[in-house]
Amino acid sequence: MRLSKNKFKEDLIKKLEKERATNIDEASELDIYYALGSLIRDYIAENWLRTNEEYIKNAKKQVYYFSMEFLMGKLLVNNLMNLGIKHICEEALKELNMDLDKIEELEKDQGLGNGGLGRLAACFMDSMASIGVPGHGCGIRYRYGLFEQRIIDGYQVEFPDKWLQNKNVWEIRRKERAVEVKFGGNVRVIEENGKLDFIHENYESILAVPYDTPVVGYKNKLVNTLRLFSAEAIKKDFDFSYFNRGQYMKAFEYKHSVEAISEVLYPNDAFEAGRNLRLKQEYFLVSAGIQSIMRTYKRLGKSIDDFHEYIAIHINDTHPALAIPELMRILMDEEGLGWDEAWRITTNTISYTNHTIMSEALEKWDVDMFKNLLPRIYMIVDEINERFCRELWNNKYHGDFEKICQMAVIAHNEIRMAHLAIVGSHSINGVAKLHTELLKKQELKEFYQYYSYKFNNKTNGISHRRWLLKANPELSKLINDTIGKGWINLPNQLSKLLKYKDDPVFKEKVHEIKQKNKIKLANMIREKHGIEVDPNSIFDIHAKRLHEYKRQLLNVFHIMNLYNKLIENPELDIYPRTFIFGGKAASSYFMAKQVIKLINTLAYKVNNDKRIKDKIKIVFMENYGVTLAEHMIPAANVSEQISTTTKEASGTGNMKFMMNGAITIATLDGANIDIKNAVGEENIVIFGLNEKEFLELYRNGTYNSIELCNTDIRLKKILNQLRGGFFPVKDDEFSIIYHSLTKHNDEFFVLKDFDSYVKAQERIDKLYRNISKWTEMSIVNIGSSGIFSSDRTICEYATGIWKTNLCDRHY
């Protein structure tokens, strides 16, 4: 937008006066934050309204991205950037003796997600708005986002994330657009003129109140919407039914039980919760979302038969898969369509992304629980299952009960959400090449054979505007100065940097910027954790959710091995390294929490051991989230992407690091493979079993971890150190870790890949000594990162799945 600095100042001062009743001399930083937020919202409002008007006027096909998680992070600077007024705002604030970075710190992260899946949804929001896809988010406005992590005595302790304690300046509550969501009760079936009617009665009604947040496109005047629903008691129920009977306390119990639905995000990543409240949340989201879409659709005045021509609904994993029976319900029970017509519309409307093949993350619901909570929806799912099984029987597997049972939506008293999502949608995609291949050839093999036309790959991406332009302003400026600003709209243009990989001046600048970012992170580490780290050491960062398959433990074992070697020989020539960790463990995941304790225990021991002369340092940074990632990633030299192969569907942190010039040490898993293909083998460090070797070993069951420990003296020593005496903890503190690697045969092949990982780390050590070569590799990584922009991913979704407005950009 066009705006002069003076006009901006004037507007800001007015806001301070009118909304904060203060002036510029008296205003606190918080006053400025609120005034600024309100002012930016004003600037956004006009384009927001216009965008919506245009969508209705031109009846453009709309995409709704349904997700239980949106990990948006902070919005202030992103909005300023996308409006094109960040610079003006910064300058104006400077003149008023304020600092935008300081003001930004006051904004709470919108942390309504666990990790990759929720952050992907947020990156998609940015890309849809920026490349001009009419796409909106649909989710839950949890009162508490993912817990705040504090480290106390080395342990993770969870605290509530009170992100709404102060006013959220970005959202607009739209009470008048609330819809009712019905739970429980029973269904009465009546037959009239040969037609069945389904009357849902004795249910409990809950109000879903939408809160809308604008999603601002990058300098294109387009503003999409993120709509999050909050659960509220319906006023008349709350006020009358109990209060009038004098049951004052009961009235509040009722209110709280209703509000519980949108109270808190389940803190599990890639793990199924299987709880009644989670099922309530999932249905709450889809019912509210679809009713709200239906209302908008009605305003278009189009026939219901053409619904799927104007609406695409995408489900982010199976969590919102009840969108399928819910849309069927509305089309049949409310719009009066027959089954076949409703099914045609539903399957053409819905598309599904699978994010994991790990069995513990596959959602299954107990039939009785489901039936009690959602009686009408159950009837529809049951009918979908009946028809699907009949179809299999008639078309392909006549008489093969076993096969049909294997593929059924309901079997063994469970509803399988992945099967429901596949049967009820027109597209199923994986999130990286290997992952999609595994879906087709293994995990969903039967479905691929039956519905091969539905399967496709959409390799994940990240918003290069957030993860490079915003997170790394100095590098972005250098890129602008070198190749121009075209990359901000066309990230593939980052490849223009490749021709500078040998340019000594450019290389020097890239190196300097990395150093500056490292110094900033070192200062942060000093302030937050009281640990002194050397910015000239290699910053080796492992930041992601704590999970056994992500193998933070492998990293720890490498450090223990290095430490053991240094104790034996303090003169050992290793390049100084700072190992930095960040990540949360699910609150009920004991093993993962013990790994955090182990990292911190090791950190304490190593950091305070004078004998190793500061050659290695270890830091566990508390409360990893979007904002902390924005500080950590630009400072990384080495990116740890070391999951057990086949387990990480894609990963997206891997893309953020390479885009900021880190060199990846990686297994051939998920999108690491795509990164390797993009940068070339010489610009990434690969180790470990590949997919074939892993699967072979896994299937023929010949791996014996204890045998391996007994033959590798390094491992033997490390495992002994876990058992007592070495660390200042109880002898059995780490017994769960010890047993998982020995008695339970090392399910994630930590010990199996150890030797190969150590060698890969030695290659890193060697490579970094030649800083000129290292910087060259770093530039190749940055220059090759364009295809990992979520702009490319969204363009593929829009053209290949949603069939919306095609973007005219080339990726």
Phi-psi region of 149 (alpha: psi -120 to 50; beta: other; left: phi over 0): beta
DSSP 236-271: HIIIIIIGGGT-HHHHHHHHHHHHGGGTB----SSS
Cβ-based nearer residue to ligand KOT, 122 or 483: 122
SS3 of 350, please? strand
d(CA 98, CA 543): 32
Q: Which residue spans within 453-496 are E strands per DSSP?
A: 455-457
Give the pairing type, strands 410-411 and 455-457. Answer: unpaired
Q: How far is the CB of 27 from ligand KOT (least distance, A)?
A: 41
> Could you tell me which of 44, 336, 281, 293 has the C-alpha nearest to residue 169?
44
How many distinct helices (H) and strands (E) make up the chain?
33, 25
Examine the residue annotation and report whether 544 is marked as an active-site residue of this protein.
yes
Q: 479, 487 in Cβ contact below 8 A? A: yes
Instruction: Name, in order, each residue with C-beta under 8 angstroms of 142's C-beta and a sequence gap of 6 or more.
Output: 112, 262, 263, 264, 265
Q: How far is the CB of 549 from ligand KOT (least distance, A)?
A: 9
d(C-alpha 37, C-alpha 14), whole Å: 13
Distances (CA, A) of 335 to 188, 305, 376, 502: 18, 10, 16, 65
Which residue in 454, 458, 507, 545 is the catalytic one?
545
What is the distance between the alpha carbons of residues 697 and 689, in angstroms, rounded to a whole number? 10
Is 355 known to be catalytic? yes
Q: How far is the CB of 475 from ligand KOT (least distance, A)?
A: 24
Distance CA 613, CA 631 (A): 27
Binding site for ligand KOT (CB under 6 A): 114, 116-117, 120, 268-271, 317, 355-356, 361, 431, 460, 648-652, 670
Apex 583 CA angle, 580 and 585, nearest 5: 140
Look up 593 and say whether it is catalytic: no
Q: How far is the CB of 354 from ligand KOT (least distance, A)?
A: 8
- Token output for 245: 């009977």
User: Is 739 a catalytic site residue?
Assistant: no
Q: Quick count: other Cβ atoms within 10 Å of Cβ 27?
A: 20
Question: What does the block give as tokens for 134?
Answer: 């009419």
* CB of 331 or CB of 649, closer to ligand KOT: 649
Q: Which member of 440, 466, 656, 752 is catalytic?
A: 656
Which of these is catalytic: 518, 544, 593, 792?
544
Rounded Cα distance, 427 and 708, in Å? 44
Question: Which string of DSSP letters, residue by residue, matches 184-236?
Answer: S-EEEEEEETTEEEEEEES-EEEEEEEEEEEEE-TTSS-EEEEEEEEEEE-HH
Three-point CA angle 409, 414, 420, nearest 5°: 25
Q: Report how far residue 652's alpha carbon sits from residue 714's, in angstroms, rounded to the nearest whole number.
A: 32
User: How many CA within 13 A on the CB side of residue 794?
Assistant: 31
In 84-144, alpha helices (H): 86-95, 100-105, 116-131
Look up residue 566 and give its two tokens. Answer: 């240094």
List, in order, residues 6 or more apart from 531 with CB less than 8 Å away.
525, 603, 607, 617, 619
Active site residue 652: yes
* Tokens of residue 625, six digits: 């989230």
CA angle, 14 as apex, 8 and 18 as ends, to 5°? 145
Q: DSSP assignment of 372-410, as one string?
A: HH-HHHHHHHHHHHHHHHHHHHHHT-TT-HHHHHHH-SE
Q: Which of 9, 458, 550, 551 is catalytic?
A: 550
- Specify whether the CB–CB gap between 431 and 649 falls below 8 A: yes
DSSP 505-526: HHHHHHHHHHHHHHHHHHHHHH
* Residues designated catalytic: 355, 544-545, 550, 652, 656
